[in-house]
A and B are shown apart, each in its own frame.
Chain A
Amino acid sequence: MYKILEKVDYSDDTYMQVIEAPAVARTAQAGQFLIVKLHEEGERIPLTIADFDRDRGTVTIVVQAIGKTTRELQTYAAGTSLSNVIGPLGLPSEIENHGTVICAGGGVGVAPVFPIARELKKAGNKVISIVAARTKSLLLWEDRMKEVSDEVIVTTDDGSCGRECLVTEPIKEMCEEGDVSLVYAIGPAIMMKFCCKTTEPFGVKTIVSLNSIMVDGTGMCGACRVSVGGETKFVCVEGPEFDGHQVDFDLLMSRQRQYLEQEKIAYDYYLECRGDKACLT
């Protein structure tokens, strides 16, 4: 059992949990993820390691509740436990001194960007971060990003905070000005796709972290496969980070919809029964 030590709600739909998992924390690196399973009947879902504390033996996750499991996890308060936490999985980010790097996070995607930005900064890069969301209430970790960046730009689609624009606007401007050596873009698939479309004409390498559907997260099933540069790749073992200009985002998004029908059934069933088994019959 893996105990939740802290839980903070950021909005109705977003939250942070600090979980006791010393074996995972011990070797966790920026860019990696873990798999959690809440209980015996639970699904295995992948979540990025947003932070880790080796001394305390903890890992931090930041989650957006969008379906059955993420909604149920939201009800897990500090002091409760998860039945399984497996990781760290995936390949760590390749950190080196590139020069100027843009670290763009969309929605809860900001959290996974955080440890990467921190490492890039340590490695001597000039880090310009973009914290983006649809609206003010969904913005998160602006303060933390400030700690590890040379500059932070906030954007919201509706202008309720920071610049009123899409995350791609400042990326485009900076690419036009030149001097950007690398872009990290993490968030919903559609956001990553448009970030890549923005940087491609400038030839600025753009790394994305793909969120395909997973089961084991250890290369055993192929559920997570995507097409990168025309080749099939397993995100969980060969990723999750890839060169975004090579990724077939349309395929990724199509594959993410594979279980929509069942996800709705699971969610409705959960809302109706709240885990009460007797409800089944």
Chain B
Amino acid sequence: MSDIENKGNEGERELSKKERMAIPRTPMPEQEPKQRAGNFEEVTMGYSDEKAITEASRCLQCKKPKCVAGCPVGIDIPAFIDAIAKQDPAAAIAKLKETTSFPAVCGRVCPQEEQCEKVCIVGKKHEPVAIGRLERYAADWEAAQGEAAKPEIATGKGKRVGIVGSGPAGLTCAGELAKEGYQVVIYEALHKPGGVLSYGIPEFRLPKDIVYRECEYVESLGAEIKLDYVIGKTMTIDEMMDDGHDAVFLANGAGLPVFMNIPGENLNGVFSANEFLTRANLMKAFRFPEYDTPIKVGKKVAVVGGGNVAMDAARTALRLGADVHLIYRRSREEMPARDEEIHHAEEEGIQFHLLTNPTQIIGDNEGWVEEIEVIEMELGEPDASGRRRPVPVEGSESRIPIDVVIISVGTRSNPILTQATPDMELNKWGNIVADPDTLATSKEGVFAGGDIVTGAATVIQAMGAGKVGARSIDRFLRGLPLKPEPEEEGAEAEGAAAK
């Protein structure tokens, strides 16, 4: 392997396709499962320069790269990987930042196995190129250099844009508009910026330093972040428009936890994953009593659900010392969580109860959880999502003694903002209706994107929406039609190609 590396490094000779394919996928160093189960340090440690170069040399530099089509925002993947292979991480990060605002975040949390890596040509016969790890490598390289390179900022446009929510959608939109010279103010309800990146995703998967660095970067572009500002309460959208905002972007996420409506859900010791994670991450309860906010962990914890949120809650509980049982109603293949998280959870010793669903939670005389009753499930006909519908197996109920239950079966849109905006069109789930191309809402000058429009989705989709929102707002404020005319689009594409 070192042989190939050398050849790749020195670029004496281009590797043949066959040689590239022969290089095995480079694993990323990780903390040992036993060790990491007892701390909140990041699990994966990133590629060294050498490892990154080796992995980058596995890319075939396809003429028609499938990976780019698989990326929700269309990052020029072969180009940034090529730069890494040529030992030019600065060029790699510049390439990435043309399309994604926060590669250090995406490289860590994107479900690459469902996106770019799923369709990578190398992956047809071998394991796909580790695109996500390379993205992270380039971003971490930049962070290690100190201050991030700042793009050119257009001259002031004299127009003010208000953004609701500082999650990935809001931050991206703010960054884009600030670069265009707009005066941007982000209003965030919580006392820390970052949205889910800050309150939801745990430290061991996405260190908060990285999140706050990205927030500071957006501020350095000229955007202001106002914390403790609940839009719909502290100020309504109409008041924002009256108060000198020329346009508004709503990126308030889908933060309202859903419960299962089974008996016993209000017992002491039953929490939403959002509560559990907010206490742990945002309030730093894992450092109680140095930090004031308490968290209840118990000895034996049941986590219900199979998504990223469930994995995060389970692995947080594990790190706080609990014996953790994950209960999911479908099979492992259908789990919506990222592969890597499922794999890490298994390694760390989380016990999976698959094809199992809770039917009730049983409490003691004092109102505390004592047991959870579950029923076995089998997979029936595919449902609307294309996944096979789980159906309960009659008479297969059993009980597991437990002291804490964490419910992680999804979230809905938070009603605070929409309650205060009766003239905003919503769909039947309470999500804001926005034009799929322009993200315009039913209110003039108000755009919306991210989880508040799509329902709980992904970080990269939220960032993509932030970009689209910024483009629409820019066009709106310049008095252009929101949708580019076909000729104009052609001209834009040509312009881009000419660059």
Contact = CB atoms under 8 A, between A and B. Distances in A.
Given A221-B272, A254-B367, A259 B296 contact: yes
Given A83-B191, A86-B191, A266-B288, A222 B230 contact: no
B383 interface: no
A280 B290 contact: yes
Given A84-B227, A86-B191, A266-B289, A219 B275 contact: no
B16 interface: no
Given A27-B233, A37-B191, A220-B256, A85 B279 contact: no
Which of B189, B272, B289: most chain A CB closer than 10 A? Answer: B289
Contacts of B294: 259, 262-263, 265-266
B288 A216 contact: no
A249 B288 CA distance: 29
A165 interface: no
Interface string A53-89: 0000000000000001100000000000001111111
A105 B61 CA distance: 73
Which of A84, A215, A218, A220: most chain B CB closer than 10 A? Answer: A220
B275 A221 contact: yes
B255 interface: yes
B266 A227 contact: yes
Interface stretch (A39-47, A137-145, A147-155, A195-203): A39-47
Nearest to A23: B234
Interface in A94-131: none
B458 interface: no
A195 to B, nearest CB: 23
B435 interface: no
A265 B283 contact: no
A89 B228 CA distance: 11
Contacts of A19: none
Contacts of A215: 275, 278-279, 283, 293
Interface in B239-280: 255-257, 259, 265-266, 268-269, 271-272, 274-275, 278-279
A222 B367 contact: no
Given A84-B191, A87-B233, A221-B275, A43 B292 contact: yes
Which of B259, B272, B275: most chain A CB closer than 10 A? Answer: B275
Interface residues of B, number: 41
Contacts of A216: 189-190, 278
- Chain A interface SS verdict (over half): mixed
Nearest to B411: A220
A85 B191 CA distance: 9
B416 A237 contact: yes
B143 interface: no
B296 A218 contact: no
B234 A88 contact: yes
B191 A277 contact: no
A8 interface: no
- Chain B interface SS verdict (over half): loop
Which of A83, A223, A257: most chain B CB closer than 10 A? Answer: A223
B416 A218 contact: yes
B229 interface: yes
A242 interface: no
B256 A87 contact: no
B248 to A, nearest CB: 17
A255 interface: yes
A42 B285 CA distance: 10
A3 to B, nearest CB: 14
Nearest to A253: B367
Contact of A27 (B235, B268, B293): B235
A216 to B, nearest CB: 7
A38 to B, nearest CB: 8
A274 B290 CA distance: 11
Contact of B292 (A69, A86, A223, A251): A69
Contact of A223 (B275, B284, B289, B291): B275
B271 A223 contact: yes
Nearest to B272: A222
Interface in B198-257: 199, 227-230, 233-235, 255-257
B414 interface: yes
Nearest to A69: B292
Interface string A235-278: 00100000000000001001101110011011001000000010
B256 A219 contact: yes
Nearest to B252: A218
B274 A87 contact: no
Given A216-B190, A221-B257, A89 B233 contact: yes
A252 B275 CA distance: 17
A225 interface: yes
B229 A262 contact: no
B415 interface: yes
A99 B230 CA distance: 35
B296 A262 contact: yes
Contacts of A160: none
A269 B290 CA distance: 9
Contact of A85 (B228, B265, B278, B284): B228
Contacts of A42: 292
Contacts of A280: 290
B444 interface: no
B189 A218 contact: yes
21 contacts: A27-B233, A42-B292, A44-B283, A68-B292, A84-B191, A84-B227, A215-B283, A219-B416, A220-B255, A220-B274, A222-B257, A222-B259, A222-B272, A222-B274, A222-B275, A226-B266, A254-B268, A255-B266, A259-B296, A266-B292, A277-B290
Interface of B: 189-191, 199, 227-230, 233-235, 255-257, 259, 265-266, 268-269, 271-272, 274-275, 278-279, 283-284, 288-296, 366-367, 414-416
In the A-B complex, the 7 residue pairs with the smallest Cβ-Cβ separation, listed nearest first, are A262-B294, A221-B275, A254-B367, A43-B292, A222-B272, A220-B255, A86-B228
